[in-house]
Chain A
Amino acid sequence: MHYLGLDHIGHKAGPQSSHMIPKQHEMDSIVSQVYQAIEQETHLHSTLFVLCGDHGMNDAGNHGGSSAGETSPAVLFISPRFRALDTNRQSPADALRDLQYYRVVDQTDITPTLAGLLGLPIPLNSLGVFIPEFLDMWHTSAERLELLLANSKQLLRTLTQTYPSYDFDTPATCHVSSDSGNLEKAHCAWARVKELLSQEEHAEIETILLQLLRTSQAAMSSAASNYELPYLFLGICIAGVASVLSLPASYEALRRYQQPGLFLVASILSYGIMMFASSYVEEEQQFWYWAFTGWAVYLHVRSFQLQPAVRAFRSSFLLTTFGAVALTMSHRILRRWNQTGQKFAAEPDIARTYFSTHQGTLWTLVVLTYADIYLCLVRNDSSSSPTWYLSCLAVTVVAFTFKLAFATSESPELVANYVATTLRGIPLIPYARVVMSGIAILCLSKKKRDTRIKSPPRSLHSALTLFLVTQSRVTNIPIFLVFRLQLKILASMNLASVEVTVTSLFMQYITFFAFGGSNAISSIDLSNAYNGVGNYNLVLVGILTFVSNWAGPIWWVSASKLLRSKRPRGESQTHVALLTLCVACMLLSVMAACTVLRTHLFIWTVFSPKYLYTMSWAIIHHFAVNLLGDIDLLFSSAT
């Protein structure tokens, strides 16, 4: 049974709420009602009734922290059979200290106690010790011994798995002093138990077994928080060296473009500080959304102040005056596309709430996105032949119908019935392979032409967009239309190199979250990880998973390459250097936060997932996407 009332009142109005005491009386009456019902029936007299809180609350009525109020829930074992025990507890009792009554029971001890009382084996990985007060339920010492021995063997087995090099079965030469480790103590106790067992000294064995259990438990809990600190510091040093090495190349650019440089440095510094606060890690998207509005204001002011100069670049008056407003508007739409994070995760958004009731709008936007990609593929080609037009059209149409068929099987609630009936039963795996090979052919034939005309890889970008769209959820596809608008506005602003870098960095992080990503492992989208993959293939599925989760960032890496295409080569090098500096600094701050906060309550639920995400940002996204995307720099600077 799970009664929500107390928790609800706590969250609503805190422990001092006027509803709290009446609710607690109500809970008491329910417990006594249950107990009386047990007592009335003789066949229920062996019932074990356990009353246990799963958490307490702080002064505000919330929980999850480590204050005494939050970590001191009550546990109560109730049964008519316990009358036989001579523990005579008085109630109500006074608190010994901060919310501690009677005696403190380790949370892990509940499992073996329940197992023992119910006559079940103890679960394999339990770290608990049977609560000794209940031993008196067994009248013969042989029975008690059997129970404790089972508990000890199970705990020692877990201990041996954690320390495989330690052999507990060798006869110990015991000279245990007060400063010897828990392992030695447990080893000694176990040797002594075996010795006593052969002598049948049951009375002493029980106390030694309990000692053995406690020391094994202590050894196990220290193992759970045993960090390889040298490796942690080594990682921090590597990230530190990386940021120092990228500093000289970036410094020149930062010095030359002071205001955008200052904005970038301030953003990275505040990001670094933020990584030490668990709620900012959970709500990281808010930082990027917020900082980008500041950046949009900067872009607006500089474009507006530059107006006379920028107008020489054929930008219209409207774009210089209201371009940044349009950029912020599109940004505001992206913000609401997928609600992510923890605090506002359940709020209504466009992808889940709006599109589930407006399928017509969704599919119109999706068709528009594909049409736009087709136009981009065709338009950026001066020497286009009818075959090129036809093959572009064929690939786009096949890609769209694949997505339609995919949605029919994966999210039928988004597809109208008559479409679903015609498309049901299409084999998706070969279909996806056709789409992928079509896109690959487009890329290859483009590459050949591009080497001849030496133009910026615009249609390569369009082919990439087609691939990214294929790897995205249907509800996210219209986002690519928003991207196109944003790119158009940004292109009209004639950004300087550092400005392109800052914009690119912001857009990469913003879009990761706008697509529904977050710093929780649970938000990884696997729905497109098996497109065209028949059976599990670690590398292929890994790549597809990464692309479907990082589709937005990858698009912006490619888009910022287009934004830079008209600029001198040297500026691309500062772009790479600056991005490396940012990634290294972010990595450094996340590593430092995880090391400093390794005993934090949320280390496994918040900081470690963030660490894993940062690793994929740094290793996969930065190395494989950002740096490989600029691999041509290497050749051009060599020649």
Chain B
Amino acid sequence: MASQSSTPVQQQALSSTTSTSSKPKFSHPPVSILPSQFARGYALAHPAILLSLVIYRFSSVVNDPVVELLSDIPFLVGLQVVYVMGCLPPAGVEKDGSPSTDGTARKTPGHKRRGHSASKGSAWATGLVTVAWKLTPALLSLTLTTLLATPTLALLLVLFGAPLTTHHALTFLCAAHMALLSAFPLIYAHGVDGEIWREIWGASRPADAVWGGALGTCLGAWFGAVPIPLDWDRPWQAYPITILTGAYIGYVLGMLLGRAKGVFGKRLEFVPQGLTDIKVD
């Protein structure tokens, strides 16, 4: 039911973007949250849990950022793993543009096979199979997040003004948190598909929870730098507390906004009109 209602919206969004700009071929549709009851519920609960954790742990981050940010990572990993496995289709499933039907089609054989032997434990068994089947991409994306996304984000943080000669541990921890928020769902949902990553590098992905969350994380971190120069001399103004707080808020907002009705499927287009004119003269 849910999947049926989401596909027309998706297609409409797709057609509207293709009509506005003629050249790029958008072969990769936005990612929809899985249709299951749990997925739809948890996709809303997850941002709430993350934000309350930020509020709950804020004072200890201010007191000892290195220790607190480090000890938060396992919890963040856990929450994000539950979120991506429970709510997002893993990479490769949605190739033909109909994610939900494909996902269920893969699950049904296992369900049927086990249905013969034990009908009571079948729900449990399907659950286990699904978890086991999704755990591999989750673990793979987690590895890539640690090995690739975290160093890349740390470099980007330095490029955007983070201290280069000091605060290395904090920069890396901040990058790790941001990578878990933004890159982990991206890798889980898109794998290492070069074309999609080109779209991400060009910021031209259609809006969805995954891309919205990633973009929101980066924008939030950028805006998070604003209070640092103020002369209030508050301990929370220290690098990178405001930046990471901004990243979390941005992630939550971006994730929710990316799924919102008028936004889902839309793309950022930064092509200045004037440039087509120059080509003429």
Contacts and interface: CB of A to CB of B under 8 A. Distances in A.
Nearest to B275: A496
A290 B162 CA distance: 11
- Prevailing SS type, chain A contact patch: helix
B204 to A, nearest CB: 6
A280 interface: yes
A309 B279 contact: yes
B220 to A, nearest CB: 13
Interface stretch (B32-40, B51-59, B116-124, B222-230): B222-230
B201 A304 contact: yes
B233 A277 contact: no
Contact of A499 (B23, B161, B234, B272): B272
Interface string B190-205: 0000000000011110
A328 B159 contact: yes
B274 A257 contact: yes
A494 B275 CA distance: 8
A62 B274 contact: no
A545 interface: no
Nearest to B226: A290
A286 B278 CA distance: 35
Interface residues of A, number: 48
Interface string B253-281: 00000000000000011111111101101
B165 interface: yes
B231 interface: yes
Nearest to B228: A286
Interface in A622-639: none
B202 A279 contact: no
- Prevailing SS type, chain B contact patch: loop
B158 interface: yes
A611 interface: no
A277 B230 CA distance: 8
A491 B151 CA distance: 30
Interface stretch (A163-171, A293-301, A407-415): A293-301
Interface stretch (A329-337, A373-381, A522-530): A329-337
A256 B278 contact: no
A290 B274 contact: no
A302 B231 contact: no
B270 A298 contact: yes
B257 to A, nearest CB: 18
Contacts of A258: 273
Interface residues of B, number: 33
A305 interface: yes
B45 interface: no
Interface in B220-248: 222, 225-226, 228-234
A494 to B, nearest CB: 7
A306 B164 contact: no
A496 B272 contact: yes
Contact of A343 (B23, B161, B229): B229
A243 interface: no
A63 to B, nearest CB: 10
A456 B231 CA distance: 47
Contact of B233 (A60, A280, A312, A328): A60
Contacts of B159: 293, 325, 328-329, 332
A567 B269 CA distance: 24
Interface string A487-500: 00000001011110
B270 A289 contact: no
Interface string B143-163: 000000000000000111100
A321 interface: yes
A5 B184 CA distance: 50
Interface string A67-92: 00000000000000000000000000
Contacts of A22: none
Nearest to A14: B233
B270 A259 contact: yes
Contacts of A342: 231
B65 to A, nearest CB: 18
A526 to B, nearest CB: 27
Interface in B42-66: none
Contacts of B161: 289-290, 293, 332, 335
A450 interface: no
A293 B275 contact: no
Contact of A260 (B202, B203, B272): B272
20 contacts: A60-B233, A256-B273, A257-B272, A257-B273, A279-B229, A279-B232, A282-B231, A286-B228, A289-B161, A293-B161, A301-B204, A305-B202, A309-B271, A312-B279, A321-B201, A329-B159, A496-B278, A498-B272, A499-B272, A567-B278
5 tightest A-B CB contacts, nearest first: A279-B231, A283-B229, A496-B274, A302-B270, A304-B202
Interface of A: 60, 62, 64, 256-260, 277-280, 282-283, 286, 289-290, 293-294, 297-298, 301-302, 304-309, 312, 321, 325, 328-329, 332, 335-336, 341-343, 348, 494, 496-499, 567-568
Given A278-B231, A499-B272, 8 more contacts: A60-B233, A290-B222, A290-B225, A293-B159, A297-B203, A301-B268, A307-B202, A498-B272
